[in-house]
Amino acid sequence: MPALILASASPRRSELLKQLGLTHTIQVADIDETPLANETAADYVLRVAHAKSSAIHPHGPEDSVILGADTSVVMGDEIMGKPENLEHAIEMLSLLSASTHQVYSAVSLRGQQTQQILSVSNVTFRAISRQEIIQYWHTGEPTDKAGAYAIQGLASIFIETINGSFSGIMGLPLFETAQLLSNEGIKIFNE
């Protein structure tokens, strides 16, 4: 089986691969993740995921498979990054409060071939008070998360419904990722 390399510093993506029983190494891709002018959320996450896998590909072993991924929280046309401070988190979570937003998660795989896939999920938040946002911020959880929340953590109490991929919202859509890996000879269930 080819060696699997995760081109990401995200501990959540690594945990999700481990959940599938996949041994992998981590090589962080140093790329510019600034959205381009007039770039759609779908184009943005696909471009960044591809840039991550492409940056590591020339440095990996010949038979390796490089997995790059990117996830963005999107409200309307706005791609929400990570909060810079408490006020930024209040602004973001207030925007998400009592509404539905999308989470775009792209996977790019470089091995024998280059493959990409996109997962889009809808997330509906209940109304969140300013005080709840401040208390949530002080837990430390939202500081390095797109959209200022982690679905798998304390923010789960804000979420009324999701329609899509729970693991995709976390950062790596496992259904789609398993399909791409299978195409490269990496099986989840060895026969």
In the chain, what's the furthest Cα-to-Cα distance?
53
Is 20 among the domain residues? yes
Is 188 among the domain residues? no
Is 37 among the domain residues? yes
C-beta neighbour count of 153 within 10 angstroms: 15
Is 35 among the domain residues? yes
Task: Report pLDDT for 149.
Answer: 97
Is 161 among the domain residues? yes
Taking only the tens place, the pLDDT of each residue in 102-134 is: 999 999 999 989 999 999 999 999 999 999 999
CA distance 111 to 142: 34
Is 191 among the domain residues? no
Query: Of the residues 30, 32, 63, 70, which is catalytic?
Result: 70
Structural domain of residue 87, as residue ranges?
4-183
Taking only the tens place, the pLDDT of each residue in 31-79 is: 999 999 999 999 999 999 999 999 999 887 888 999 999 999 999 989 9
State yes or no: is 70 an active-site residue. yes
Which residue type sits at 178? A
Is 116 among the domain residues? yes
What proportion of the chain, given as a percentage, has pLDDT over 70?
99
Is 96 among the domain residues? yes
H-helix or E-strand spanning residue 96: helix 86-96
Number of domains in the chain: 1
> What CATH number is given to the structural domain containing 106?
3.90.950.10
Task: Report pLDDT for 1.
Answer: 74
Report whether 41 contacts 102 (CB < 8 A).
yes
